[in-house]
Amino acid sequence: MTHQQPAPSNPWGGLLPLTRPLPSMPGADAPRLLFIHAHPDDETLVTGATMARYASLGARVSLLTCTRGELGEVIPPQLHHLEVGRGAADGGAGLAVEREHELAGALAALGVADHHWLGSGAATSGPDTLYRDSGMKWGPDGRAVAADTLLPGSLSRAPLDEVAGHAAALVRALQPDVVVTYAADGGYGHPDHVRTHDLALRAIELAAQEPGGRLPAWQVPQVFTIVSDRPERPLDPAAERIVVDGDLAAKTAAMRAHRTQITVEGERYALSDGVWKGISPREEFQALVRDSLAEEPAHPAPLPTAAAAVAAGVGAGLGAGLLGTALHGQAIYAATSVVPLGAAAALVLLTALAVLTGLWARRSWVALLTGGVAYAVAGILSIPRGGFGLIVTNLQGNVWLIGIALATPVAALIARAVLRRSAR
């Protein structure tokens, strides 16, 4: 069901209840809308006209931006030196500063004065934290997928409840009538957009719980997701859809402010791909049914601490080294040949333990640690004591000791591949 807005009976344009009165003066019992976006320029491209319209009507429009877009592609040749992919050696710090300035200019054009960065100010539940752009690359189906490498502190790899806790603090502080963010696929698959969807919905859940702090719990009355212009994503036919005809002039001016990301000519624009599109004041949203919050995928467990990861790797390595040494000598003898069955079983056990420990810790180096400890244990046990060592120089002993050195990097590579696929 689609409603074209604004309807004559509803000056608020569809995202707010019909019963909400226009404020008698700016800030006087004004309705509150919170838009949650991943990078600077996202707010303008897909919700700018709507944000400008509500701001002009007197609503309190707030924006939460999760990263500073450090890994964005840069269009103007004179600013190419800021792009990480073109030689910038600062990890995108210079581009982040530029995009902060661009966002400030864009919000001024939209008439939005209330802006927050995830993890700082009112948008944090603890010490200030900087979340960085995760980057992306294009998959074979034309959708965005995770980049091959990630910067430390990347948004898409941060624990969900950590980032959602920051956003929940802002939701409690602002008490918005409406929250707007991406659909579950992030619109086109960007890992940061997907993470922003996840953290926004989790934040709404957390904000509704009693926090035990100075801010009261807040149940967001309505949540909307952005309808992407990408035709690949099917829409929920049962969910209500809202079309808002917003402020074209303000959106166009805001797009011009994002000069590193958007080129504007008259009433058309192009991104870094050079494909021209018309600038439209019409933006579409889909109501998120409240019950669907409970149908979201289970939230992943928090990332284990480095100390816990080390302890797990050492413990698994000790166990694998001791048990493998006890097993390695078992063999099947046939005529003049020997089949080192025990050593092979011990290596399978070690590899499995190293991979599982690395996956549990969500760090592939933990698999290396597990194998390294197992090798150290086996080496110590191979030292003769009283003329006898638990590992002797025969086929079984050689297979076990040399096999550990080979199985360890294999286990780490397997763990790394699984973790990267999981991140995507």
pLDDT single digits (tens) 371-424: 899 899 888 888 877 656 677 778 878 888 898 999 999 999 999 888 877 654
pLDDT at 161: 94
| Whether residues 52 and 119 fall in one domain | yes
Mean pLDDT in residue range 121-143: 85
In a domain, 194, yes or no: yes
Structural domain contains residue 300: no
Answer yes or no: is pLDDT of 79 > 80: yes
Q: What is the pLDDT of residue 321?
A: 85
pLDDT, tens digit, 9 for 90 and up, residues 237-267: 667 788 999 999 999 999 999 999 999 999 9
For position 233, which CATH number holds? 3.40.50.10320
Residues 33 and 140 in one domain: yes
**Beta strands per DSSP E along 29-93:** 32-37, 60-65
Position 301 in a domain: no
Q: Residues 302-337: pLDDT tens digits? A: 678 888 889 999 999 899 889 888 887 887 887 778
Look at residues 295, 328, 349 and tell me which one is the last residue of a structural domain. Answer: 295
Judged against a pLDDT cut of 70, whether residue 83 lies above it is answered with yes
Report the pLDDT averaged over residues 96-114. 97
Say what percent of the chain tops pLDDT 90.
50
Report the candidate in 166, 161, 140, 231 with the shortest Cα–Cα distance to residue 424. 140
**Residues 242 and 331 occupy one common structural domain:** no
What integer is the mean pLDDT of 362-375?
A: 91
The last residue of a domain, from among 295, 322, 339: 295
Segment 57-81 mean pLDDT: 94
Average pLDDT over residues 275-293: 83
Q: What percent of the chain has pLDDT over 70?
A: 84
Q: Which helix (H) or strand (E) element contains residue 114?
A: strand 114-117
For the residues 194-220, what does the mean pLDDT come to?
Answer: 88
What are the beta bridge partners of residue 286?
225, 241
Res 8: pLDDT: 39
Residue 402 resides in a domain: yes
- 176 and 201 in a single domain? The answer is yes
Residue 353 located in a structural domain: yes
Please state the rounded mean pLDDT for residues 12-28: 55
Overall average pLDDT of the 90-115 stretch: 95
* Number of structural domains in the chain: 2
Say what the pLDDT of residue 9 is: 46
pLDDT-derived band at 366 (thresholds 50, 70, 90) equals very high
> 51 and 192 share a domain?
yes
User: Do 269 and 395 have their domain in common?
Assistant: no
Task: Please check whether residues 290 and 395 belong to one and the same domain.
Answer: no
Tell me, yes or no, whether 351 and 392 share the same domain: yes
245 and 339, same domain (yes or no): no
Out of 263, 295, 327, a domain closes at: 295
* Residue 6 in this model has a pLDDT that exceeds 80: no
Whether residue 181 sits in one domain with residue 286 = yes
Is pLDDT at 7 greater than 60 in this prediction? no
Question: How is 211-261 classified by DSSP, letter by letter?
Answer: -SSSSPP---SEEEEEPPS-TTSPP-TTS-EEEEE--HHHHHHHHHH-TTT
| Long-range contacts of 8-15, Cβ-Cβ distance < 8 Å, separation of 24 or more | 11/57, 12/54, 12/57, 12/59, 13/50, 13/53, 13/54, 13/57, 13/244, 13/245, 13/246, 14/242, 14/243, 14/244, 15/50, 15/54, 15/178, 15/180, 15/222, 15/224, 15/242, 15/244, 15/285
Report if residue 59 sits inside a domain.
Answer: yes
pLDDT of residue 18: 44
* Residue 68 CB neighbour total at 10 angstroms: 23
Give the model's pLDDT for residue 399: 85
Mark whether 349 and 209 lie in a shared domain. no
- Better-scored residue on pLDDT, 83 or 23: 83
Residue 405: give the domain boundaries.
306-423
The mean pLDDT of the chain is 85
Which pair of structure tokens corresponds to residue 404?
A: 């550990």
Do 386 and 256 share a domain, yes or no? no
Does 229 map to a domain?
yes
pLDDT of residue 82 exceeding 60, the answer is: yes
Structure token pair of residue 316: 């698994």
Residue 254 confidence (pLDDT)? 98
